């Protein structure tokens, strides 16, 4: 992933595929859990600027695919914020997979 772009109010899922950093091949994510956090700041010092969190839903564990689907309320914003995605494996090891901008663009239909 890199910057995520979405129109204000859209609730389609954001999809992430987990790749091995050495081989570049998709990782089997069976038994893992995922959390996407959106924050007003790229490097927050606490939770005061956190906007929301979305629990990831595994789409296809064998090829590392996971979705994050915001609610209508979560998606009802405009502007640039920041997100990260954390994966916790079955042994409890936490890995941050992404840290990038997340851009909400104003749409026309309300």
pLDDT score, position 2: 84
* Average pLDDT over every residue of 89-99: 94
* Average pLDDT over every residue of 3-14: 96
- Please indicate, yes or no, whether the overall pTM of this predicted structure exceeds 0.75: yes
Q: Inform me whether the pLDDT recorded for 1 exceeds 60.
A: no
Burial class from Cβ neighbours inside 10 Å (0-12, 13-18, 19+) for residue 70 reads buried
| Beta carbons within 8 Å of 10's beta carbon, 6+ residues apart | 75, 107
Q: How many other β-carbons are positioned within 10 Å of the β-carbon of residue 87?
A: 21
Gap between the Cα atoms of 87 and 34, Å rounded:
5
Longest dimension (CA), the chain: 46
Architecture of the CATH domain 4-105? Sandwich (2.60)
> pLDDT tens digit string along 17-75?
999 989 999 999 999 999 999 999 999 999 999 999 999 999 999 999 999 999 999 99
Gap between the Cα atoms of 76 and 15, Å rounded:
19
């Amino acid at each position: 992933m890199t910057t995520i772009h979405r129109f204000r109010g859209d609730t389609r899922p954001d999809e992430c595929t987990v790749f091995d950093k050495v081989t570049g091949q998709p990782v089997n994510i069976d038994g893992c859990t995922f959390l996407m956090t959106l924050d007003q700041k790229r490097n927050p010092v606490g939770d005061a600027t956190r906007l929301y969190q979305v629990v990831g839903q595994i789409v296809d564990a064998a090829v590392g695919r996971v979705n994050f689907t915001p609610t209508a309320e979560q998606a009802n914003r405009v502007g640039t914020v920041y997100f990260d995605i954390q994966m916790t494996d079955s042994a409890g090891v936490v890995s941050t997979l992404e840290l990038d901008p997340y851009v909400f663009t104003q749409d026309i239909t309300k």
